Amino acid sequence: MSEIENLLREDLRGQRPYGAPQLDVPVQLNTNENAYAIPDDVAEVVERFLAREVRGLNRYPDRDAAALREDLAAYLRHGLTARNVWAANGSNEILQQLLQAFGGPGRTVLGFMPSYSMHPLLARGTGTAFVDAGREADYTLSPGHVREAVAEHDPDLVFLVSPNNPTGTALGTDVIDAACEAARGIVVVDEAYAEFARDPAATALSRLEGRRRLVVTRTMSKAFAFAGARVGYLAADPELVEKLLLVRLPYHLSSLTQAAARGALACASRLQAEVDALKHQRDRIVKHLRAAGLPVADSDANFVLVGGLADAPAVWRAVLDQGVLIRDVGLPGRLRVTAGTEEETAALLSAFETVMEQSPELFGEQR
């Protein structure tokens, strides 16, 4: 063991940093980014908001991001105000702050994998024990399973993801209700893909009223095509939001980030056109691959989990050879594909068609 490795926290030794390969491939459908660049008219608004900040960069930003939180509350509706909302550098930082405040050494967060792979990593980084209660064989999650797992593990936090990554399907509000009723701790619903849901009413925002331990996290990385800006946020009871100020870094959210986010929020309805287009491409992928005989889960997100692969890593490689980068999330017989533009989706479907024709042995029951 090297000297530095020796000095590292025991629980981090031998670990590798998280991250999908960032390969230079013509069609990149592997990280669930929004396929559309920021449209010119939106870019001009964001640039105007940014320009207003530049000469004041000698000063620290608004620590409490008051104006941004007001705009986010207005965007979310559901009777929320700025006091219900908190913002940070991506919803990953939001989740980390929740774990710092309500988890930590000696505490437990309960999750249901396969789900967002950052949840266990954020738990580890904050010294919180992560318990995986798993899912049904078809990756669905029932209220009964959630209740049993909560009773068994008595977690300080419960992480639900709806729509779930990598499976794509949204949870019924009965599952969220079951978690809130069974758990004594904080219930977090990670809604990174909420804007892509087939039923927009399925959001846990509708369950916030009167539930002081429920937290709904969102991000501008997906629907707002703003992954590079790093803006995530949450909605919760004002008292819970105030507790997060205990762990946030001072001035964690730069003036430029706050301004850019406000500019994009001012264009929310304009950006909805791209979300609608991506939903259309997602449904096209589901329909097409099902017609080709591959089992595909219903998707409420901007990606689709494809099954029926006898050798998923080999299919991943063969599709990459066709110039299309998708994601091997480590699930046997399955790969995740992000919905792209119309052209990118055509390239994806044609790559699958070619690979199915050339290498039929890679498909079918998992070997």
Ligand X SMILES: *Cc1c(COP(=O)(O)O)cnc(C)c1O
| CA neighbor of 33 nearest in space, from 171, 172, 227, 200 | 227
- The 114-153 contact track toward ligand X, x by CB under 6 A, reads --x-------------------------------------
When binding is defined by CB under 6 A, the residue of 161, 187, 202, 318 that contacts ligand X is 161
Number of shown-chain residues binding ligand X (CB under 6 A): 14
Tell me how far the alpha carbon of residue 115 is from its chain's centroid: 10
Residue 141, C-beta contacts closer than 8 angstroms, at least 6 positions apart: 112, 135, 160, 164, 171, 175
| Closer residue to ligand X, CB minimum distance, 225 or 362 | 225
How near is the Cβ of 331 to ligand X at its closest, in Å?
15
15 burial class (0-12, 13-18, 19+ CB within 10 angstroms)?
exposed
Q: What is the separation, in whole angstroms, between the first and last Cα of the chain?
A: 38
When binding is defined by CB under 6 A, the residue of 227, 247, 329, 331 that contacts ligand X is 227
Query: Does 190 sit near ligand X (CB under 6 A)?
Result: yes
When binding is defined by CB under 6 A, the residue of 162, 221, 255, 299 that contacts ligand X is 221
Q: Which two tokens stand for residue 184?
A: 């004594």
Interface segment toward ligand X; rule CB under 6 A; list 105-113, 180-188, 218-226, 341-349 = 218-226
| Closer residue to ligand X, CB minimum distance, 190 or 300 | 190
| CA neighbor of 218 nearest in space, from 156, 298, 161 | 161
How near is the Cβ of 192 to ligand X at its closest, in Å?
4
Query: Does 219 sit near ligand X (CB under 6 A)?
Result: yes
Residue pair 338/29 in contact (Cβ under 8 Å)? The answer is yes
Query: Does 28 sit near ligand X (CB under 6 A)?
Result: no
How near is the Cβ of 199 to ligand X at its closest, in Å?
18
Query: Does 86 sit near ligand X (CB under 6 A)?
Result: no
Residue pair 187/160 in contact (Cβ under 8 Å)? The answer is yes
- The 88-117 contact track toward ligand X, x by CB under 6 A, reads --xxx-----------------------x-
Phi-psi region of 65 (alpha: psi -120 to 50; beta: other; left: phi over 0): left
Helix (H) / strand (E) element for 39: namely none
Query: Of all residues in this chain, which one has the CB nearest to ligand X in the complex?
Result: 90
Tell me how far the alpha carbon of residue 67 is from its chain's centroid: 24
| Closer residue to ligand X, CB minimum distance, 100 or 221 | 221
Interface segment toward ligand X; rule CB under 6 A; list 72-80, 217-225, 234-242, 338-346 = 217-225
CA distance 156 to 148: 15
Cβ atoms within 10 Å of 166's Cβ, excluding its own: 23
When binding is defined by CB under 6 A, the residue of 35, 45, 99, 192 that contacts ligand X is 192
CA distance 46 to 259: 8
Residue pair 241/94 in contact (Cβ under 8 Å)? The answer is no
How near is the Cβ of 98 to ligand X at its closest, in Å?
12
- The 230-249 contact track toward ligand X, x by CB under 6 A, reads --x-----------------
Interface segment toward ligand X; rule CB under 6 A; list 15-23, 202-210, 219-227, 253-261 = 219-227
Residue pair 266/44 in contact (Cβ under 8 Å)? The answer is no
| Residues in touch with ligand X (CB under 6 A) | 32, 90-92, 116, 161, 165, 190, 192, 219, 221-222, 227, 232
